[in-house]
Each structure stands twice: as structure tokens, then as C-alpha cells.
Amino acid sequence: MRSLELLHQCYMFRGLEDAELTAAAEIAVIRTVEEGELLFFQGDAARGFYAVLSGMVRVFKSSPQGREYTLHRIPAGQIFAEAAIFGGEHYPANAAAVERSTVAFFPADRFRALVAGSPVLSLKMIGSLSRFVRDFNQQIEDLSLKEVPSRLASYLQRQSEETGSRKVMLESSKTELAQSLGTVLETLSRSFRKLQDVGVIAVSERSIEILDPDRLAEIAAGEKI
């Protein structure tokens, strides 16, 4: 019963028939991971994917010099590493718990069998993979074509759209945010100041209020400040 309740919190499993949800719960391996605990390393065999049921997980790359680059932060209710089980033999990045979290692991072979028999689950997985491709393309565009203030504006715009609020709470440290935007802390801090100086945002510790959404959108699209 607890497995069913936990899985129902994840968007991937909402709307499933009771029998389908029960089948998913039967193959799920649910466990608690502590802050900093690794779920898998880059290069490990991709044996399945995960759903975050509580807490948060960080997906990141590590350089030979030991620097880390955050790709995604996965909150409760979301899944990750699903792309790896449909064609990838190995996980392309590392994953670790940001805080004490509960995750569900779904073995690739058994989950593919579930998807084959469930049109609803198939469509949800297609939607998840589509979002993955869209977000990945956006990251490539931001890192290759935009300057840091535009990358920051794009990040704030996406966060605001996802929450439906003009207030954005920074869930990660500014150092980690700088890494995810492909820059360093000093440059990120200057970009925050630039956006604040022109009246686009107001910064209060970890809370960012968007004062001018239209101007933010223009900067996110690449317009210089």
C-alpha cells in the first residue's frame, strides 16, 4: 500500500488504472538515500531509471580535474535517467541525493514490458523523453550562443514559468548555479547585479523577484543589457 501511495505522487504514474499502478509498484525498488549518497556513477551500466518520491537528486558531470557541472536538479514527483534505458548502455552522468530522499528504481527490462502493455504509460514516457530533449537543446543553445546575463535570465524565466510565480527561490548554491550555467561565481554575481541595476529583478538572499517579466524575456532571448 505504501508503494502505491508513493508512486501516485509521481506524475509518470498518475492517471494509470489500478492494475497498471500495482504492476509498476511490484517492480519498483524503493529506498531512502542520504544527503550526498550516489545513486550511480557516470559510465555505470544503465540498468534502469529512477523516480524521486521525496527530497531532491542532482545529476552532474565530473571533469578529470575534479570540477563538477550540474546538469539537472530533480525534485520530488519527477523521474530521471529514463533516456538511458531506451538505447543508452551506460549512464552519461552521475546522480547523488541533494538531501535525504526517497527514490524508486525501475529495472529497464521489466519497465519496458510494462510500457508495451500500457498506452497511457507509453504516452507519459514519450512526453518525458520529449521534455528531456527540449531541455537539453535549450542548454546547448544557452551555453553556445548566449552570454551569461542571458543564460541567467533564461534560467529565471524557466523557473518562474514552472512555478507560476514571479518569485524564484534558489534551491542550489550560487556556485552550483554558476556551474550549471557554464560560468564562475564572480561572473554570475556580476550578472545578478546587472539584472538588478536595470530593474529587471530584486535579489534578497536566496529569493529572486522578477520585476519586469517582459524585459527579462528579451534578455533571455539574447538581447544585451
Comparing 2-142 with 147-220, is the CATH topology the same? no
**Is domain 147-220 given the CATH code 3.40.50.1370 in the classification?**
no
What is the Cα–Cα distance from 150 to 165, expressed in whole angstroms?
20
Query: Which residues, including other chains, have CB under 8 Å from residue 177's CB and lie 6 or more apart?
Result: 70, 155, 170, 188
- Show me where the domains of the chain are located: 2-142, 147-220
Per-residue pLDDT of the chain (225 residues; tens, 9 = 90+): 567 777 877 888 887 888 888 999 999 999 999 999 999 999 999 999 999 999 999 999 887 877 788 888 898 989 999 887 777 689 999 999 999 999 999 999 999 898 888 888 888 878 777 777 777 777 777 777 789 999 999 999 988 987 889 999 988 788 888 888 888 899 999 999 999 999 999 999 889 999 999 999 999 998 988
Query: Is pTM beyond 0.85 here?
Result: no
Specify the CATH architecture of the domain 2-142: Sandwich (2.60)
Cα–Cα nearest to 117, from 221, 20, 210: 20
